[in-house]
């Protein structure tokens, strides 16, 4: 899913180019539609619903079997334990399929994903993208990635070790706050640009641009 048009891409690209004028650091902004499909979470919810349904059936079998008799025409009959177990399993399977289908709808799926898990998955995906696209790819190992995951409403800032050794994680708080302030207003490109400028200021203090520094990574937004 493309979030930006050419004009919005230019807003971010210009911010990256401007921020890197005063630092040897390289800033890589990345936007993702989502960081994970959370199929395992859907499976857990569906399995929990199935086992709960079977447990309730086992606790009140007569209630459910009366409903079955009513659906089948109102005639009751004696059932063996095997038949009762088969109905219980069938009831659980029905619940499993129903919950799986319901949670296949993205808004509900992401609603039922716990926030700590979203945070961890976004962080892990940001780190993976950084390792592939930016880590160690500059001469002084001064790459920083701003990662934004839209579906989870989460953002991460990941940096090379040479940067994290000098810049505590909390220093990026201002950049994160400025970025999210605009994003919450629906100004996504402007928010990323604001975060890029703040990151550039921090990098300029610790990694000022030298006379022989060149542009080692593209000054553009990456959509994944």
Per-residue pLDDT tens for 119-139? Answer: 999 999 999 988 886 665 666
Q: How far apart are CA 6 and CA 87, in angstroms?
A: 58
User: Average pLDDT of 175-202?
Assistant: 90
Domain region containing 71 = 39-111
Tell me the whole-structure pTM to 2 decimals.
0.81
Q: Which of 111, 134, 161 is the last residue of a domain?
A: 111
Same domain for 89 and 136, yes or no, is no
Q: How far apart are CA 199 and CA 28, in angstroms?
A: 11
Same domain for 104 and 127, yes or no, is no
Q: Per mean pLDDT, which range of 124-128, 163-167, 178-182 is the poorest?
A: 163-167
Q: And the tokens for 67?
A: 């409903």
Cβ atoms of residues 31 and 148 within 8 Å: yes
Asked whether residue 212 is assigned to any structural domain, the reply reads: yes
Same domain for 78 and 59, yes or no, is yes
Classify strands 26-32 and 143-149 as parallel, antiparallel or unpaired.
parallel
pLDDT at 70: 61
User: Average pLDDT of 166-185?
Assistant: 86
Asked whether residue 1 is assigned to any structural domain, the reply reads: no
Q: Which of 79, 111, 143 is the last residue of a domain?
A: 111
Same domain for 103 and 82, yes or no, is yes
Same domain for 62 and 142, yes or no, is no
For residue range 50-83, list pLDDT tens digits in order. Answer: 999 888 877 877 776 666 666 666 555 666 666 7
Q: Is the pLDDT of residue 114 over 80?
A: yes
Same domain for 15 and 118, yes or no, is yes
């Amino acid at each position: 899913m493309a979030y930006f048009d050419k004009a919005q891409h230019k807003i971010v690209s210009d911010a990256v180019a401007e921020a890197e004028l005063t630092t040897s650091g390289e800033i890589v902004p990345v936007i993702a539609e989502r960081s994970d499909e959370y199929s395992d979470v859907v499976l857990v919810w569906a399995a929990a619903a199935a086992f709960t349904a079977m447990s309730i059936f086992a606790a009140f079998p007569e209630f459910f079997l009366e409903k079955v008799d009513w659906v089948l025409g109102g005639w009751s009959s004696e059932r063996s334990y095997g038949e009762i177990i088969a109905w219980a399993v069938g009831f659980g399977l029905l619940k499993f399929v129903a919950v799986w289908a319901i949670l296949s709808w993205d808004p509900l799926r992401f609603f039922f994903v716990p926030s700590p898990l979203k945070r961890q998955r976004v962080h892990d995906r940001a780190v993976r993208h950084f390792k592939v696209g930016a880590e160690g790819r500059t001469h002084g190992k001064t790459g920083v990635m701003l990662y934004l995951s839209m579906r989870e409403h989460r953002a991460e800032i990941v940096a090379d070790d040479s940067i994290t050794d000098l810049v505590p994680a909390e220093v990026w708080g201002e950049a994160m706050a400025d970025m999210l302030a605009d994003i919450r207003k629906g100004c996504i490109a402007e928010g990323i640009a604001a975060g890029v400028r703040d990151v550039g200021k921090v990098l300029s203090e610790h990694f000022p641009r030298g006379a022989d520094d060149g542009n080692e990574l593209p000054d553009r937004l990456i959509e994944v």
